[in-house]
């Protein structure tokens, strides 16, 4: 183990799901005294039942503050649990460190660690880096893990010092880190989101910047240089800065000039060789290329990855074509900025399905992207009326409000014209009607398949 040793430490794990289950098992392997607390009842709680069968102390159906006392050394929380939770508040009163799963996992292995964060695009960048580093002569194996849907605590147990683990890290995960220290950190971009959790943009940025706070001059910080704010953030890092940009020429780092991608002054590939659509994916490619070149991946292998990669599930994912309509699943667009990115990725007219959890923000930032681009809008969820208000300002003439996504898919098909793109890009989190954005995207795919069957039967 290269950092903290959790042996003989008394630790409370708050919240299960994938990451809580995985970190509890890892901590036990490390010799910790582990108690697991999950607010969900035991009935139907498969993770809790599995841990009980393995001899863990598991408490379900509550997260009362009296479950923790000053005998505990750490509280490891599920990233999505708010710090206002009474058990977390009590831990902080007792001066017990509140951390998240990546903090534990990063301490366990000598594998090379790469961390990727950002408001948008981090799943794509994480995946691209992992695929490119499969071709690096410096590693035996290349893995990805983290917010991408695979607990780091699982992957880290099979990775050796000869391997690399590329981890997607959310602001929720990063806020609960103390000693986390990736050799390469990537910051793809920062917009304003998750403010219901972080309260202010400054707090959100601070959480994101945890990815580089422990880096030294022997490490690398790959950061988007497209805005002055992001360039200023680079000054907070002690690592070697590797900038990338698609709107300016750089003396070092990765950039675009005359539709050619350069890295450290060397031409790598043409932008039109990137298979996934949209200008944002050029930025994603620049970030991934910056890391790949650190580890001697050839231009040929980079081109092979970028010319064949079709995109990640739920992120402008092509689903199907029928009746002249192309369907795309962008359920991962949980904020306005992500939906703007999706809308600008297409040249065809769009029928947009949007709406979801109301976090108190407005949607007027969408107006320039809706205007002249979106012919039809189908909305549902808590934010439906707010989205309608902004769409009307953008002169979207055909707007339909429905109750849920199941109703939205056939309605979007009914309202759209042949050759339209039917795009689910909600501009909001899924938690008003779904547990996760993945569940929302999977339902969209299922409803598209159902609709296809009905159309073909007609």
Binding residue ranges for ATP: 118-124
Residues annotated in a binding site: 118-124
* Strand partners of residue 12: 35, 75
- Reduce the DSSP state of residue 154 to 3 states and report it: helix
Q: Rounded to an integer, what distance in angstroms lies between the CA atom of residue 231 and that of residue 239?
A: 14
Q: Rounded to an integer, what distance in angstroms lies between the CA atom of residue 168 and that of residue 45?
A: 26
| Strand ranges in 180-275 using DSSP code E only, listed in sequence order | 184-187, 220-224, 240-245, 254-257, 260-263, 266-270
CA dihedral 311, 312, 315, 321 (to 10 degrees): 60
Q: Rounded to an integer, what distance in angstroms lies between the CA atom of residue 207 and that of residue 193?
A: 12
Please list the alpha-helical segments (H only) found in 255-321. 279-294, 299-308
Nearest to 129 by CA among 117, 119, 335, 219: 117
Strand (E) or helix (H) holding 75: strand 74-77
| Strand ranges in 155-219 using DSSP code E only, listed in sequence order | 164-168, 184-187
Chain position carrying tokens 């910047």: 209
- Reduce the DSSP state of residue 48 to 3 states and report it: helix
Q: Rounded to an integer, what distance in angstroms lies between the CA atom of residue 245 and that of residue 227?
A: 9
* Strand partners of residue 422: 327, 351
Please list the alpha-helical segments (H only) found in 295-361. 299-308, 336-344
The structure tokens listed for 260 are: 């050619």
């Amino acid at each position: 183990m290269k950092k903290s040793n959790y042996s003989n430490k008394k630790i409370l794990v708050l919240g299960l799901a994938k990451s809580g289950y995985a970190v509890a098992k890892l901590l036990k392997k490390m010799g910790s005294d582990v108690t697991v607390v999950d607010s969900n009842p035991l009935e139907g709680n498969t993770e809790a039942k599995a841990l009980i069968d393995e001899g863990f102390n598991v408490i379900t159906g509550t997260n009362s503050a009296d479950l923790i006392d000053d005998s505990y050394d750490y509280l490891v929380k599920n990233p999505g649990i708010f710090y206002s939770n009474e058990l977390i508040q009590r831990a902080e009163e007792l001066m017990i460190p509140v951390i998240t799963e990546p903090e534990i996992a990063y301490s366990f292995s000598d594998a090379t660690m790469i961390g990727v964060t950002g408001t948008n695009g981090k799943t794509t960048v994480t995946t691209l880096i992992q695929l490119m580093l499969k071709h690096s002569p410096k590693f035996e194996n290349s893995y990805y893990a983290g917010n991408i849907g695979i607990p780091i605590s699982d992957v880290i147990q099979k990775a050796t010092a000869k391997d690399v683990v590329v981890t997607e890290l959310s602001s929720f995960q990063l806020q609960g880190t103390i000693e986390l220290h990736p050799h390469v950190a990537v910051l793809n971009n920062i917009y304003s989101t998750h403010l219901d959790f972080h309260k202010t943009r400054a707090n959100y940025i601070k959480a994101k910047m945890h990815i580089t706070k422990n880096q030294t001059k022997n490490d690398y910080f790959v950061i988007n240089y497209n805005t002055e704010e992001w360039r200023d953030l680079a000054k907070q890092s002690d690592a070697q800065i590797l900038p990338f940009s698609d709107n300016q020429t750089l003396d070092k780092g990765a950039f675009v000039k005359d539709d050619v991608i350069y890295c450290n002054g060397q031409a790598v590939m043409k932008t039109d060789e990137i298979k996934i659509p949209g200008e944002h994916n050029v930025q994603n490619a620049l970030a991934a290329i910056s890391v790949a070149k650190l580890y001697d991946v050839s231009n040929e292998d980079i081109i092979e990855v970028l010319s064949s990669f079709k995109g990640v599930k739920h992120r402008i994912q092509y689903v199907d074509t029928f009746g002249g309509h192309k369907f795309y699943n962008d359920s991962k667009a949980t904020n306005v900025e992500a939906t703007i990115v999706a809308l600008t990725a297409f040249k065809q007219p769009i029928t947009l399905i949007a709406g979801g959890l109301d976090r108190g923000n407005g949607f007027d930032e969408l107006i320039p992207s809706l205007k002249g681009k979106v012919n039809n809008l189908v909305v549902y969820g808590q934010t439906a009326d707010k989205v309608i208000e902004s769409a009307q300002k953008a002169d979207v003439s055909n707007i339909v409000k429905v109750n849920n996504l199941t109703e939205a898919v056939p309605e979007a098909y009914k309202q759209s014209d042949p050759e339209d793109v039917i795009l689910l890009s909600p501009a909001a989190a899924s938690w008003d009607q779904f547990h996760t954005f993945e569940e929302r995207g999977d339902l969209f795919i299922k409803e598209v398949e159902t609709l296809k069957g009905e159309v073909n039967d007609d």
